[in-house]
Amino acid sequence: MASSTSSDGIRGVSRTKPGDMTLKDALRHHAFARGLGEEQIATLASMASEVSFAEGEVILENGQRSHAFFLVLTGSVSVELCTARFIVSVQSLGPGQIFGWSALLDHHDTVFQVRARENTTALRLAGKDLKAACQADPLLGKEVLQRALAVVAGRVRATEIRFAEMCGIRV
């Protein structure tokens, strides 16, 4: 494994080993990409790289410009709401889930911090490449948008639940 930071500042450890599942296979088996056509899988695989994060490593910082979209393959991450005085875990994500959806938006900073809860591997897709692919293939764009919006809605709901718990309200 080799530590890497891409040209757009995205952290992670690139991982490629002989015999590992191909990027196309990983995408075919990932819940976010399930049901996409082979051409769409090939498009996503062409811009994907597998990265690894160590336990406790901050992957995305709150307020940082978002450059990458991640599909969790193994391990888990914590989506955290950060302020100057405290950090609250809003949601835990594991294999089959995604984070970094703000990379799909122009000039948008991340809303949450994301930290690896354990050693974690993910597929990293550069946001600008994913956006370009979605614009070039409207069907892929529709699928990615619908799936990403479902994630955003889930993240809002998880935040509401966590906030209610902090206020002593049963949800």
Range of the domain at 9: 2-166
* 52-64 pLDDT per residue, tens: 999 999 999 988 8
Helix (H, G, I), strand (E, B) or coil at 3: strand
| Domains held by the chain: number | 1
Within 10 A of 8 (CB to CB), how many other CB atoms are there? 12
How far, in Å, CA of 16 to CA of 18, rounded? 7
Q: pLDDT for 15-24, tens place per residue?
A: 443 335 799 9
**Is 153 domain-assigned?**
yes
- What tokens appear for 99 in the block? 């984070």
The pair of structure tokens assigned to 154 is 């889930």
Taking 50 as the pLDDT cut, the residues of the chain under it are 1-19
In order, the DSSP letters of 88-148 are: EEEEEE-TT-EE-GGGGSTT-B-SSEEEESSSEEEEEEEHHHHHHHHHH-HHHHHHHHHHH
Place of tokens 């900073």: 109
Asked, for residue 139, whether it belongs to a domain, the answer is yes
- Would 24 be classed as within a structural domain? yes
State how far the Cα of 48 lies from the Cα of 43, in Å rounded to an integer: 9
Report how many helices (DSSP H) and strands (DSSP E) the chain contains, helices first: 4, 10
Q: Does residue 91 lie in a domain region?
A: yes
Strand, helix or coil for residue 48: strand
pLDDT of residue 167: 85
Do the Cβ atoms of 97 and 152 come closer than 8 Å? Answer: no
pLDDT at 148: 93
Q: Widest CA span of the chain, in angstroms?
A: 51
Q: Would residue 171 count as lying in a domain? A: no
Domain containing residue 96: CATH number: 2.60.120.10
- Predicted TM-score (pTM) of the model is 0.82
Report if residue 7 sits inside a domain.
yes
Do the domain assignments include residue 87? yes
Whether 110 is covered by a domain: the verdict is yes
pLDDT for residue 155: 83
